[in-house]
A and B are shown apart, each in its own frame.
Chain A
Amino acid sequence: DVKVTQSSRYLVKRTGEKVFLECVQDMDHENMFWYRQDPGLGLRLIYFSYDVKMKEKGDIPEGYSVSREKKERFSLILESASTNQTSMYLCASSSGTAYNEQFFGPGTRLTVL
């Protein structure tokens, strides 16, 4: 069974802290994505990666960075967390073109106090 796992289901951090969200997929997918989901705004793409060490900005990259050192792992980094980054963060992976099915992880609900 295909799987995308995220390091935490729930996370509470303080303003100004550096936050790492980890995502691991076991499907040998070349594409990986980070989204955030907020009520009334749907899913919005933060960053994606189509290969190891490659990254591209999505719709809302400000305040975030990413790292992809290995094919199976994609990390989202909040350099200095702020309260407006409180959200649900979803990781996904896919193979091939942009139209192909994305497989999502369960999400990490991050609260920044």
Chain B
Amino acid sequence: LAKTTQPISMDSYEGQEVNITCSHNNIATNDYITWYQQFPSQGPRFIIQGYKTKVTNEVASLFIPADRKSSTLSLPRVSLSDTAVYYCLVGDRGFQKLVFGTGTRLLVSP
């Protein structure tokens, strides 16, 4: 079972770049890495997914080193509305093995 480890919380200011790192030492060969964002009183929302190297979309970038034992979610120029909990998710060949973990609570201040 590919468990993940993330920082419990992070603080940032508007306009800064935020990098949240997730450790997944036991990642399996076929596993993808997925990040979700959750605002208060809402369900999580998919942000980005990758397998290796770098993936970028309109919201974020995901950096995955060659050994795939960690990944970094990068949020460019955060705003107050990026205050949320961010979950790193590593699949393991089946729905039962998808583990959301406790997430990283990001607080963006003015």
Contacts and interface: CB of A to CB of B under 8 A. Distances in A.
Do A and B interact with each other, yes or no?
A: yes
A104 B43 contact: yes
Interface in B50-64: none
Contacts of A107: 41-43
Contacts, number: 60
Interface in B62-110: 87, 91, 93-103
Interface residues of A, number: 28
B43 A92 contact: yes
Interface of A: 4, 31, 33, 35, 40-45, 48, 50, 56-59, 90-92, 98-99, 101-107
A98 B94 contact: yes
B43 A99 contact: no
* Highest count of chain A CB atoms <10 Å: which of B43, B91, B100: B43
A42 B87 contact: yes
